[in-house]
């Protein structure tokens, strides 16, 4: 299998989901869901953790810019520029995903939790257990 890090591509947006290499990520219910096709893993993180990851990718894009400026040969410079462009595009998509999650309401925010508790439907809950109902003994229930 070819090393995909040598051929970086910008993330693509399909509907509400973003795809970058083997990762697919999207915002849902205020969380960010991440699916990795390589190891078939699925991860959920809140918006603040996602923004920390975004900051680390942004720092990595800055490192790639420095490599491109200091590169001695044209191939290394072009590769670093191409990787940097893909990384900057990834950071932009990650920020857009975080904005979408914030618009959906951050479930970790205490104000949102209070609002949900205040507006949840109050209803009594009852469970029927076998033999607990008062029935006529002549009825046979299969």
Q: Determine the pLDDT at residue 107.
A: 78
In terms of Cα–Cα distance, which of 71, 94, 90, 70 is closest to 5?
90
Q: How many domains does the chain have?
A: 1
In-domain check, residue 56 = yes
Structural domain range at position 29: 4-119
Q: How confident is the model at residue 2 (pLDDT cuts 50, 70, 90)?
A: very low
State pLDDT tens for residues 75-126: 888 888 888 888 899 999 999 999 998 888 877 778 877 877 787 777 776 6
In-domain check, residue 128 = no
For residues 19, 23, 24 and 29, what is the CA-based torsion angle, rounded to 10 degrees? -130
By residue count, the chain amounts to: 142
In terms of Cα–Cα distance, which of 26, 45, 46, 23 is closest to 35?
23
């Amino acid at each position: 299998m070819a090393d995909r890090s040598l051929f970086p591509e910008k993330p693509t947006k399909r509907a509400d989901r973003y795809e970058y290499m083997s990762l697919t990520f999207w915002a849902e219910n205020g969380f960010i869901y991440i699916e990795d096709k390589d190891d078939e893993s699925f991860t959920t993180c809140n918006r603040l953790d996602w923004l920390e990851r975004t900051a680390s990718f942004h720092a990595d894009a800055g490192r790639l810019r420095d490599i491109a400026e200091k590169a001695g040969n044209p191939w290394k410079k072009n590769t670093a520029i191409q990787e940097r462009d893909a990384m900057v595009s990834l950071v932009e998509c990650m920020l857009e995903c975080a904005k979408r999650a914030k618009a959906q309401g951050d479930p970790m925010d205490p104000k949102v939790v209070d609002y949900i508790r205040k507006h949840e439907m109050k209803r009594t809950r009852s469970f029927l257990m076998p033999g607990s109902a008062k029935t006529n003994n002549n009825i046979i229930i299969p």
